[in-house]
Amino acid sequence: MLRLNPSFDAQKDVVASILAKEERANIGVLEPRILSVEKDGGVVYSWRGATGTTRIGKYDPHSTENKLLYTFDKQVCVSSCSLNKEETLLAVSLSQSTHGAFKPVSKCLTLLIEIHPINNTKVLKAVDCKVKVQFLYPKTCRTTVLESHLLLAAEDGYVDQYHITLTRQEGYRVVMQSPERLSRERVAEDFSWVQWDSDTQRLFYLTAREKHTLKCVQFYPDRNFETVFELPLEMPSVSSVASSMRFVNFGYDHYQDSKDEGLRIEVFTSLTGTMCVCYSPPVHWHKDATYTIAFVHRGCSKTFTVSLEKGSAPANLPTVHPIFIHLDYYIVVYLADHFLHLINCRQQDLLCYSLFLSGADGHIETLGLGREVVSVSGSRLLDVRAGTMYTMELNPDFLLELLSAARPEAQRLAALHCMLVYLQPNPVMELKIINWISENVMSFDAFDQIQEFILASLYRISYQQCVSLDKLLPYSCVFEKKELPVALTAIPGVKCTPELLCQPIIKGKPKSLQGYWEELQLVLERMRYFEGVPSPRFRTSLIKEDWDRFQAAMNSEKEKSPHCHRQIEENTKKVLSMVDTWRLDKRVVPLFQEEDQQQRVLVSLMVDKLREHLNKHLSRLGKKKIDLLVVNYAAKLLELVWHVLELMWQKLKLGPWVLCIQEQGSSEEWAMFHVMLRILEATKGLCLPLPPGYSTLLSVLGVRCLPQHTFLQYVDHGLLQLTEPFVSRLMTDLDNSDANEQLKFSILKRLPEHMEQRVSQQWDHPIISACISREYVRTLLEKYSENRDSALLDCGKSCSYPDFLPLNYLTKILWNREEQAQNPFEEQENVDVRFVEETALKQTQIKLDFEVK
């Protein structure tokens, strides 16, 4: 499930370099140990020198070079170490052994050492408790920084910040100015747990005077800091948390007691304004595993209880802790040899959007039992004992395997959503997903995979443009269902208990609330607003009522208001202008080549409804921004459907011959027809528009692939639409064989009257000609007054015509009326008196049995 790529290996990246410099052959005595990972990615480590010394070095991942920082002339136990950004100062905390005849005055000695060049050493602390050190890495535009800031965290429950002023001597020597008078400030105190976040320069700590409160201190480049965040938390008893002080991301102490019976806590944040507090008590074998994820940005927490499989417990591991890993969109909870839980930290409404794997599926070979693994910023894992660091990513090939029919539908939905939203599929993976959809084209019981593909893809694209759309845009087809399927509401063997969180307090000054804290505050404000809104997420079903009304109007001959028509054209024009048509000459699927009035109306309705929804709930963005987002959303929908058809068209190796309706379709065309029909069904269920020309192309494939009676049944059930371009092509391209005549007449009977009048004239057939003539004569006679008819009738009686009298009578009326009456078929050049005369004569001869039809 998780793919671990080694980014640092002490044996390969450090030992080889040390051996080359010290010319040693015995690797075993080196004992390279990782001490810390700094913000710039550099790894600070120690090793035993050849002459019984202890050396500290740094590995630069960018240049892949090792640099010696400092050498102690004897064996020492380094429990904490940090290097400043300019690599001029080294802070070291040494654990002193209490065994033996002579006991040291203090258990821990904290030193500040000048290393550019190696010069003075100052003792910062000599106490009987553990002390952790960490330099700040402020973002600054100055090229020469003459000040460093050091955090000193003590096991007694306090954190101090030292301000170290530097000076440059002899052009290159960087030394401390007045090292005996270093200024110091108290940052935090009375806590039982503390975590350092190097990427964001934040300090999280947990106090427990009356109840647990999580606090956060933000450090700024101008040497200032302030407590900007507080959150009361309902956690287990204070004793379980405070059984031993826990330092998170303050380096790695290889000399501490590995036994840990307390609560493991970690806080993860992201730039998009999410904050997750993860905690878990130790897991005892043969008991259930319990862990809690507090989604601060959602105002709720979820406690998961997992039933573990019974098995033999390792003698040396009576208890274990699950590992928490941050992957931005997900929190990974991993318990070796038992389960891997991929928890969606943005869309946690349903369990089916989190992926739970157990047994072999959830096993990670590299992270077995007994390994001391910690999470490092930047989605990295560090195996402290082995001295190996990994970058992590989700394995897309494994996710594709989870889409197989043998998997539960909840797993298939979670895997599909993960690939579409989180992984942002590349062309290769996107093609694999579309191939999977084409091979499993029928809708599943619990969800429609095509609807999920469309909505999740659109959600990803829109969310990248504006994170504020997170709670407003649809991201899944599941929420369009009246009742949620049982298969998506629970995970076998996993109990989930949701709870509401207390409201967090953001205490920073308004001018200092920038970046993450500003975004988090906006997220919390939106959360409080949406709590009072019944349905904040846009539902495509809102379009259905207006769409049904427009369909009824289009099937009738009622004229639409000019304002309505103008609005439809404006919305559609905006959307189509944003569709990616710059590669139109390379497109193979013939879409966007006709005026598809129904789809134009549906596009306009979608734009109007979505714009109205966003203006109601997200007015702070402004009308121009919202209008751009809405139009882009509709354009991306049309592009997405077009792109799917393009990939399928190329996969099936179809060509322009598909548009010829005179021949029967192949198996490839049938496959294309089936996929297009399912796309139509999926979008129709969501009231989503399709690219103009989609219905015409589908009907062309249908008439090629289906028997005539089946084709007509598809039309009657609304699966196929008789568009004017399709019917016109049918009338002109098919010959007048008996089967084709029957098909044409059947189609004409199913057309609205106004369309039938237009397209029927394109069919060169005697019956159609007779109909045109009758309609022409009927229109003229209706407009001819009775007086003129009587006068002409009297005139006709007084004259003697040797030819066929009824025809002569009709001809006289038409000749007399032709100059006065406007021709209703003036656009048809072949309709005139001579044509009507010939048609009438032919029909009369047929009636008198002088001629066979």
Packing angle, helices 805-818 and 786-798, rounded to 10? 130
Q: Give the Cα separation of 504 and 527 in Å (integer).
A: 12
CB-based contacts of 305, cutoff 8 Å, min separation 6:
288, 289, 290, 494, 495, 496, 497
3-state secondary structure of 597: helix
Flag the least confident range among 112-126, 257-271, 631-645. Answer: 257-271
Domain range list for the chain: 540-721, 767-847
The whole-angstrom separation of Cα 727 and Cα 731 is 6
Residue 658 tokens read as 């598909």
More confident residue, 79 or 831: 79
The mean pLDDT of 777-786, rounded to a whole number, is 59
pLDDT tens, residue by residue, 3-26: 899 999 988 888 887 777 765 555
Q: pLDDT tens for residues 638-676?
A: 999 999 999 999 999 988 888 888 888 899 999 999 999
| 104 or 513: which leads in pLDDT | 513
pLDDT band at 848 (very low <50, low <70, confident <90, very high): low
* Per-residue pLDDT at 581 exceeds 60: no
Question: What is the arithmetic mean of pLDDT over 687-713?
Answer: 92
Q: Give 273's pLDDT tier (boundaries 50, 70, 90).
A: confident
Given a cut of 70, is residue 777 above it in pLDDT?
Answer: no
Distance CA(232)–CA(206), nearest Å, equals: 10
> With 50 as the cut, is the pLDDT of residue 825 above it?
no
Query: What per-residue string of b and e applies to 50-87 under the rule 16 or more CB within 10 Å gives b?
Result: eeeebbbbbbeeeeeebeebbebeeebebbbbbbbbeb
pLDDT of residue 798: 46
Q: What is the DSSP string of 527-559?
A: HHHHHT-S--S--GGGGHHHHHHHHHHHHS-PP
Would you mind telling me the total number of residues written for the chain in this entry? 853
Q: What is the pLDDT of residues 543-573, one digit of tens each?
A: 888 888 877 776 665 555 566 778 888 888 8
Alpha-carbon distance of 719 to 722, in angstroms, equals 10
**Does the pLDDT of residue 185 top 70, yes or no?**
yes
Residue 828 is predicted with a pLDDT of: 46
